[in-house]
Chains A and B, each alone.
Chain A
Amino acid sequence: MTLEFDKVVPQVATMGRALAARNSTDSQRFEDVWAEFQRLTDLDIVKARIELVRERDAGYRGVAPLDGSPEALNQAYALPDGPARATIIAADGSQIYPSIHAAALYYLTNIGVLVYHDGCDDLPEPFTEPKLFYADSDLRNDGQLITNDTVNARRTLAELQTLARAAWERRTLEHELLAISDGPLMFWVRNETPNREALEQGYFEALRQLQDTDTYMQEAHAHRASLVGYVDRPTSAFVISLLHLMRLEKDEVRLGALKGNGNWDGLIDQMLMARLLQPGERSALFVQQSPQNKRYRYDWGENYEIAFFYVNVVPQGEGFHLARVEMPVWVAREPKMVDHVHALIYRQCQLMWRYPYALTRADELAVVRGHEKAELDQLIEIELRRNEQSVEHSEKLDSKTVRSGRTRYGQKARAR
C-alpha cells in the first residue's frame, strides 16, 4: 500500500496552521529574550551567576563565558582577514550497519577526507579509509549483535583518528592548518556501548594528537594547527538557557527552575543570532555547561573542554544561515587561532554558498551509496561461494526486493 495522499493532505493543512500560530507566539516571546540578551553586558554578573548555579549543582545546561576571554557575550565580532595560506583537512564518515538479513554478518565504516590547500591553486587531495569488520568480537557483545549506535560510536572515533593522523602527517607544512570534523566535537557514547571507556580513551588520544600537531608546528615553524567541529543549522538553546538563568531571582536558581527554559522553552539560539549577526560575523565564545563537557575538563584537562561560537556563513549582502563552530579550549583561548578558524570556515562556506567545501567533499567521499552496498554484498557472496560456504538470503529481504520491484542485478542497462 502506498501513502494515501488524500488522507494526509488535510493533516498537512492543519499542521501548517499550527506552525503559523506557534511562530506568532514565538515572535512575542522572542522580543523578551532579545531584551534580556541586550542586558547581558556585565561579564562579572554573568560569571557570578554561573558560580552560583555550579555551587547549587542545579543541573544548568546553558553556556558560560570562556574563562579569561574579555568578549562581551551579546556582541557580534567582525570577519577577520585570516591567513594568506592554510591547509584545511576535513573528515566525515559513513557506514553499513550489520544486518541479520544479509548473506553474511559484517559492518563497514568508510572515512572520507579532503585536504584542501587554501590560498593557492594546488590540487586538493581526497582519500578514503574503508574498513570491513566481520569477526565475532567486532559484531557481538555478550552474544548479542551490536547496535547501530555502537557502529556510530566506532565510526565517530575512526573519523577523528583519521583526521588527527592526516593533520600529524602534514605538520611540516609551513602555514596554518585547520582540521574540520563533521558535527559536534563532544563524543557521545551510550552507557551500554561495549568497550565504552576504550572508545572514549581513543577519542581523547586523537584529540591529544591534534594538539601535539599544534605544539610541533608552533615550535618548528611558528604556525598553528586548529581543530573544529562544524554543526550546520544548530537547533541548540544554550544561550537562551543562560538568559533564562539570568532572569531568575537568586533564590529561584534551583534544579526545578532550570530543567527547561520556562516560558522560553522552544526558542532557540538561532533566533537570537539571526538578529545579531551580519554575514560573516561570529558571536562571542561560549562554553556549554554539560556534565560531559565538565568531564572533558576534569578527566582530560582544561585544554580539552569544548568551546564554540556561532557564525553567520552566508555571502555578504545575503540573509542568514547559522553554523556552530566547536573547538577545544586550547584553540579557543588563542585569539589569533580563533580569527583563523573564523576566516577559514567562512571562506570555505563561500565556495559552496553556505557550507564548507572541504566538508562537502569529505561527505561525498565517505558516503556508501545503495548500489555500492549491493556490489559489496555481491562480492561477499561470491567470496563465500568460492570458499564453499552456503549463501542464504533472508526471506524478508528477498520479499522486500520483490515488493519494490528491485532487481538484484543493478540498474537496467540503457544500451542503444
Chain B
Amino acid sequence: MIEESQQPVIGSVLRASTMGFVCGTRSQSIEYPSFGAFVRTYHGADADIEVIGLIYAISIDDDPLVRQLILANNMNNAAMRDQRENRLVPVEISVVNVGFIERGSIYHNLPPRPPLSLDPVQLCDNDCILRFTEQLDWLRLVLNTSDAPSDDLLGAALQYAAGARDNEDARYAFRVGAGRRLAGLLSYDLPRLQHLLRLIAPPAARV
C-alpha cells in the first residue's frame, strides 16, 4: 500500500483519457511541476484507482491582455503581480499515464479508467517513485507514446527515479538496470538506444 503523502498538489484534472490527462493550475503555482516528474491523481477515500503519470509538457497560453502589456513595454511590479496572482491565467500540465495503483498494488499498464475532472494531481514522493520504479515495465509505455517527446521524457523520468534512491550505489544500480532493460527494448534501434543511454548516464560518465 502506498500512503497518501504531503507532497504539493500541482493542479486539478481538466481533461483526461486512459492514455493521459491534462491538469490545470494557476501561474503562481508553477514552481513545483517539472518535465519528467512522476505525478499521481487521487480521488476520495472510496475510489479504487490512482493513476501514475509523467509530466511531458507544461504550457502557459498567452492572451490579448498579456500581449498588450508586452507591447507597451512599461510593466511594473504591481501589474505583474496582478497578472500572476489575480488573473485566472491557467498553466496546463500534460501528463502521459504509465501505470496505476489499485488497492495498494502497482500496475505498469494503462489504467482501466481515466481520472475524473477536478481530481487533484500530486507530485509523487520518493517512496512512491521507489515503489513504482522497482520494476521497469513502464519504460515500454513511454517509448511507445506518440504525444510526448518520448526519449527526452524517458531520460528525465529515469533521472528522477534515480534521484529518489538514497545513495550513489543504489542510483548507479538503478541506471544500469534501466539501461539493460532499454537495450532489450531497443535492440532494433541502436542509434536511439545510444542516445537514451547517454541521457540516463550519471553526469560524470557523459563524455
Give the interface of A toward B (CB within 8 A). 114, 116-118, 120-124, 126, 315, 350-353, 357, 360-361, 364, 413-416
- On whether the beta carbons of A123 and B81 are closer than 8 Å, the reply is yes
Beta-carbon nearest neighbor of B114 in chain A: A415
The segment from B35-43, B69-77, B136-144 that touches chain A is B69-77
Partner of A315, one of B21, B22, B74: B74
5 A-B residue contacts at CB 8 Å? A315-B74, A351-B75, A352-B72, A414-B15, A415-B22
Q: B30-48 vs A: 1/0 string, CB under 8 Å?
A: 0000000000000000000
Q: How far is the CB of A232 from chain B (nearest CB, A)?
A: 14
B65 within 8 A of partner (CB): yes
In the complex, chain A residues whose CB is within 8 Å of the CB of B167: none
- On whether the beta carbons of B16 and A124 are closer than 8 Å, the reply is no
Main secondary structure of the interface of B (DSSP, over half): mixed
- On whether the beta carbons of A360 and B85 are closer than 8 Å, the reply is no
- On whether the beta carbons of A415 and B15 are closer than 8 Å, the reply is yes
Tell me whether A360 and B65 are in contact in the complex, defined as CB-CB below 8 angstroms, given that A126-B86, A413-B15 are known contacts: yes
Beta-carbon nearest neighbor of A118 in chain B: B78
- On whether the beta carbons of A415 and B81 are closer than 8 Å, the reply is no
Beta-carbon nearest neighbor of A123 in chain B: B81
Sorted from nearest, which 8 A-B pairs have the closest CB atoms? A353-B72, A121-B77, A415-B17, A124-B82, A416-B20, A415-B15, A350-B74, A413-B15
In the complex, chain B residues whose CB is within 8 Å of the CB of A123: 78, 81-82, 85-86
In the complex, chain B residues whose CB is within 8 Å of the CB of A116: 78, 82
Q: How far is the CB of A127 from chain B (nearest CB, A)?
A: 10
Beta-carbon nearest neighbor of A353 in chain B: B72
Tell me whether A416 and B147 are in contact in the complex, defined as CB-CB below 8 angstroms, given that A123-B86, A351-B79 are known contacts: yes
- On whether the beta carbons of B65 and A415 are closer than 8 Å, the reply is no
- On whether the beta carbons of B78 and A415 are closer than 8 Å, the reply is no
Which B residues from 67 to 109 make CB contacts under 8 A with A? 68-69, 71-72, 74-79, 81-82, 85-87, 94, 96
The contact size tier of chain B is: 20 to 34
Which B residues from 1 to 32 make CB contacts under 8 A with A? 15-17, 19-22
Q: How far is the CB of A126 from chain B (nearest CB, A)?
A: 5
Q: How far is the CB of A378 from chain B (nearest CB, A)?
A: 15
Partner of A416, one of B22, B72, B76: B22
- On whether the beta carbons of A350 and B72 are closer than 8 Å, the reply is yes
- On whether the beta carbons of A415 and B86 are closer than 8 Å, the reply is no
In the complex, chain A residues whose CB is within 8 Å of the CB of B82: 114, 116, 123-124, 126, 361
Question: Considering the chains assembled together, what is the distance between the CA atoms of A361 and B22 in angstroms?
Answer: 28
In the complex, chain A residues whose CB is within 8 Å of the CB of B85: 123
Question: Considering the chains assembled together, what is the distance between the CA atoms of A357 and B69 in angstroms?
Answer: 9
Partner of A121, one of B22, B81, B96: B81
- On whether the beta carbons of B78 and A124 are closer than 8 Å, the reply is yes
Q: How far is the CB of B146 from chain A (nearest CB, A)?
A: 10
Tell me whether A416 and B19 are in contact in the complex, defined as CB-CB below 8 angstroms, given that A353-B72, A360-B65 are known contacts: yes
Which B residues from 111 to 146 make CB contacts under 8 A with A? 114
In the complex, chain B residues whose CB is within 8 Å of the CB of A357: 79
Tell me whether A353 and B68 are in contact in the complex, defined as CB-CB below 8 angstroms, given that A416-B17, A416-B19 are known contacts: yes
Excluding A123-B85, A350-B72, 10 further A-B contacts by CB distance (< 8 Å) are A116-B82, A117-B78, A124-B86, A351-B72, A353-B71, A353-B72, A361-B65, A415-B15, A415-B21, A415-B114
In the complex, chain B residues whose CB is within 8 Å of the CB of A117: 78
Q: How far is the CB of A314 from chain B (nearest CB, A)?
A: 10
Question: Considering the chains assembled together, what is the distance between the CA atoms of A112 and B154 in angstroms?
Answer: 46
Interface centre among B15, B17, B76, B114 (most CB of A within 10 A): B76
In the complex, chain A residues whose CB is within 8 Å of the CB of B20: 415-416
Question: Considering the chains assembled together, what is the distance between the CA atoms of A122 and B78 in angstroms?
Answer: 6
- On whether the beta carbons of B15 and A120 are closer than 8 Å, the reply is no
Beta-carbon nearest neighbor of A357 in chain B: B79
Q: How far is the CB of B64 from chain A (nearest CB, A)?
A: 10
In the complex, chain A residues whose CB is within 8 Å of the CB of B68: 352-353, 360
Q: How far is the CB of B186 from chain A (nearest CB, A)?
A: 24
Beta-carbon nearest neighbor of A121 in chain B: B77
- On whether the beta carbons of B78 and A352 are closer than 8 Å, the reply is no
Question: Considering the chains assembled together, what is the distance between the CA atoms of A122 and B85 in angstroms?
Answer: 12
Q: How far is the CB of A156 from chain B (nearest CB, A)?
A: 24
Q: How far is the CB of B57 from chain A (nearest CB, A)?
A: 10
Q: How far is the CB of B61 from chain A (nearest CB, A)?
A: 13
Question: Considering the chains assembled together, what is the distance between the CA atoms of A364 and B75 in angstroms?
Answer: 18
Question: Considering the chains assembled together, what is the distance between the CA atoms of A353 and B20 in angstroms?
Answer: 41
Beta-carbon nearest neighbor of A354 in chain B: B72
In the complex, chain B residues whose CB is within 8 Å of the CB of A352: 68-69, 72
In the complex, chain A residues whose CB is within 8 Å of the CB of B87: 364
In the complex, chain B residues whose CB is within 8 Å of the CB of A124: 78-79, 81-82, 86
Tell me whether A416 and B94 are in contact in the complex, defined as CB-CB below 8 angstroms, given that A122-B78, A124-B82 are known contacts: yes
Tell me whether A120 and B65 are in contact in the complex, defined as CB-CB below 8 angstroms, given that A352-B72, A416-B21 are known contacts: no
In the complex, chain B residues whose CB is within 8 Å of the CB of A121: 76-78, 81
Q: How far is the CB of A113 from chain B (nearest CB, A)?
A: 12
In the complex, chain A residues whose CB is within 8 Å of the CB of B147: 416
Question: Considering the chains assembled together, what is the distance between the CA atoms of A43 and B114 in angstroms?
Answer: 77
- On whether the beta carbons of B16 and A415 are closer than 8 Å, the reply is yes
In the complex, chain A residues whose CB is within 8 Å of the CB of B81: 121, 123-124
Question: Considering the chains assembled together, what is the distance between the CA atoms of A120 and B76 in angstroms?
Answer: 9
Question: Considering the chains assembled together, what is the distance between the CA atoms of A361 and B64 in angstroms?
Answer: 12
Which B residues from 159 to 198 make CB contacts under 8 A with A? none
Partner of B76, one of A114, A351, A415: A351
Q: How far is the CB of B207 from chain A (nearest CB, A)?
A: 37
- On whether the beta carbons of B72 and A364 are closer than 8 Å, the reply is no
Question: Considering the chains assembled together, what is the distance between the CA atoms of A157 and B30 in angstroms?
Answer: 40
In the complex, chain B residues whose CB is within 8 Å of the CB of A350: 72, 74
In the complex, chain A residues whose CB is within 8 Å of the CB of B77: 121
